[in-house]
Structure 1
């Protein structure tokens, strides 16, 4: 009966089966009277023995442990470097192994599918206790699969730490199987890999200039293309950039209505901010400095080091046609106070100028922010004790207009 459940134990003689609350223990010994040394010579001279414990796959949700009596034989081959050797059972034991091949294969598949923590939880649910580090070691111990010939290669980056540390992944686009990972996004690393794979005919990549240069150097015979994701992403960025450049026109009808025949001259003058916002001034200055250094031939990385800016910020400043594009995109971002501006302006024009009181009032309406944000918004209207502008219908944001253009007409909004 046991051999039907455990056919890989046919070389053993099961002497005892013990059922414990947390596991089943099988005590066994080898049927054969001889052992085979690694030199290939068999021996029947027993030098000693010990008990070896092997963990096996769970049965009925309970773990199985095989307590195997192992004999140590003396090798009778004078040319063999081993004086004694421990017997090994084919298909069951490996030198220094604590798991049967069946259990090791099962845990390896769990590690591949679920990784460390999740894999350990799944293994515990089926009666196998294993640590997350053990699962990861089993996955790392797997031999690297053969890459073979790759005709269509996908190249993209991924973030170890977003905004700071990136790596590159290479994908076989025919099988969608990862082929290689390397640290950084440098073109020279891609070129080095491509030089070892001259069979590559097509390279799918994003718009990174580093990847483009690496592809030209490493695989001049390959055609470079953008995959569907990057084509759609690039189109979306172009549409958003175009909408952002014309967004100021969305406010013209409101301004015209205020200046029209129905506009009363007795209304108080709208007080404009006393000075330009700091972020606007900073963007103008940094845009001018970045473009001046770029015109001198400095790289974006060098500009970032000189100005103390992140590489993404330098890229945004250099790629912008004018400082106005950067300023408009920065100012159109939603603020936590925006949904309550109409109420704040109404109360301000009614004579309530205490920011703390106004903060308490909009808190009752669901405002999640702090009082400082309210003070900053109202600070621009304190000069001259003027009225806050009336808030009309808010024009759609750049993202909303972009979504209207990019969405298929038949897709429900």
Structure 2
């Protein structure tokens, strides 16, 4: 007798009781003595019919474990959340991809931002997820690509790990740089240039003051704190309690209790150095520097292995002071003179005519990338102010419009001329952008000629993030993969 869970009847759970035959084998050499009769409506050893199992998998794939458990119970098909997820993962493990992959997009996603990353692979032709990998590495990417030698196109961002993995695992595949990331890299370079041109951007114009503005602010803060200290001492001498003084001057009661025992206000203590600061590894870096190791990238790799969680640019700022011959450190050999750079003349602060505030580098970079027909009247006024104040902005906007036209067209022959003009533009950020394009020139050419991009991968990553957060961050790679991959239709649906 087999009992199988069947679809409910008018919302009432239903169970099929089926009496099946069992046959005995008369062959004494046979490993099995009896054989049970197979059923067309259920798998062997299953406790649900095929169509109930299909519904359970669909609910689990779309809504997860606990939500599906509540919904199925309300519909008259009670199943535990663990059983739902177990059946979903088992079904995905048994799936076999038969369709060959021709064009894919590959990108990373974060288990924990800044610490651990995984990889997602998207089938661009079928617009579905092809696979989800646990790690982000060149070796893992190469191994996966070796299992799919039929791949012809791989769209990726500017990550060097994926470029290296594609060269190792699929050397015959054509790499396509994502056009969105190319434009984003250009915008970042423009913003960096505008930041160097106009310091203190985004702040309103202030009356001219003698000395550094930040020093003025710090001095005013010290004077204000000194006044609070004097008032606290005076009120305590008049017999006021610590609580009354704290309420009146807006300080903590324990701070008042400490101040009344001192003659002068204490200096502010420096915050504890954390692993995000290169100074946390100062002794190690100083030993390596004294030993003659001056490579920023190599030192960055070494301190990362020792727990450094800061950025490369933060470390480079520290090393720059050492290269300039900071006291107590052995100065590095004098660097070779950089290529001659024509500094743009006449750079002044660009003021928004509508507000009187200085236009920030972020806004300037965004406007520099925007075509003239799409500008609003206020944006057009800002662009006009930027052109009048900054000759560099004029050069960068002209090059940005040319690069946008290159990506929208299908003529890679104009790319060489663009790179030549960018290198001779006299703007350091555009020269840097041209150098990065040259290092990945073939992928950039393919971005101009091929229709593929990583837009689908970005959309699937948003979906993955939503699933991961809905599962409270406790999802394993197996469950994430089961919910991201498309479910194959059942046999009766094909």
- Fold-level similarity (TM above 0.5): yes
What CA deviation, in whole Å up to 9, does each residue of 1:214-259 have, x standing for no partner? Answer: 112222222222224433443443344334334415479824x436
The alpha-carbon deviation at position 153 of structure 1 amounts to 2.0
Tell me the residue number matched to 1:183.
Answer: 134
Is residue 287–residue 317 contact of structure 1 (8 Å, CA) maintained in 2? no
The 1:211/1:72 distance shift into structure 2, 3 A limit, reads same
Distance 1:318 1:117, change over 3 A: same
Match of residue 124, structure 1, among 67, 73, 79: 73
Kindly tell me the number of residue pairs found equivalent between the two proteins.
282
Structure 2: distance between partners of 1:411 and 1:151:
46
Structure 1 residues 233 and 102: alpha-carbon distance in aligned structure 2, compared to 1, 3 A threshold: same
Does residue 248 in structure 1 map to residue 247 in structure 2? no
Give the CA deviation at 1:294. Answer: 6.2
Aligned to 2:308: 309
Q: TM-score if structure 2 supplies the norm length?
A: 0.48
- Return closer, same or farther for 1:309/1:396 CA change in 2, 3 Å cut-off: farther
> How far apart are residue 304 of structure 1 and its match?
1.9
Task: Trace 1:277-288 onto structure 2 (pairs within 5 A).
Answer: none
Shift of 1:204: 1.0
Give CA deviations for 1:133-183 in whole Å, capped at 9, x if unaligned: 212222212223315332222111111222222111122221122223322
Select which of 217, 220, 235 maps to 2:168. 217
Shift of 1:276: 12
Match of 1:96 in 2: 45
TM-superposition CA deviations, 1:33-87 (whole Å, max 9, x none): xxxxxxxxxxxxxxxxxx3321012232222111233444433444433223333
Instruction: Specify the SS of the correspondent of 2:119.
Output: strand
Is the deviation greater in 54-63 or in 314-323? 314-323
Specify whether residues 253 and 199 from structure 1 end up closer, same or farther in structure 2 by C-alpha distance, changes over 3 A only: same
TM-score computed with the length of structure 1 as normaliser = 0.56
Distance in structure 1 (CA, Å) of the matches to 2:47 and 2:38:
13
CA distance in 1, matches of 2:130, 2:57: 20
The answer for the alignment partner of 1:344 in structure 2 is: none
- CA RMSD of the aligned region, Å? 4.2
Q: CA contact under 8 A between 1:153 and 1:173: conserved in structure 2?
A: yes
1:111: which partner in 2?
60
**Structure 2 counterpart SS, 1:160:** strand
More helix by share: 2
* 1:353-392 equivalent positions in 2, closer than 5 A: none
Could you tell me which residue of structure 2 aligns to residue 18 of structure 1? none
Question: Structure 1 residues 319, 53: closer, same or farther in 2, change over 3 A?
Answer: farther
Structure with bigger strand share is: 1
Name the structure 1 match of 2:257. none
Question: Residues of 2 paired with 1:215 and 1:305: CA distance?
Answer: 25
1:298 match? 298
Identify which of structures 1 and 2 has the higher relative contact order when contacts are C-alpha pairs closer than 8 Å and 6+ apart.
Answer: 2
Deviation at 1:99, TM superposition (A): 0.3
The 1:76–1:305 alpha-carbon spacing in structure 2 relative to 1, beyond 3 Å, is closer
SS of 1:130 mapped into structure 2: coil
Match of 1:55 in 2: 5
Q: Which residue of 1 aligns with 2:256?
A: none
Gaps of 5+ in 1: 1-50, 261-268, 325-391
1:213 to partner: Cα distance: 1.1
Look up the SS of the partner of 2:298 in the other structure: coil
Larger Rg: 1
Shift of residue 400 of structure 1? 4.8
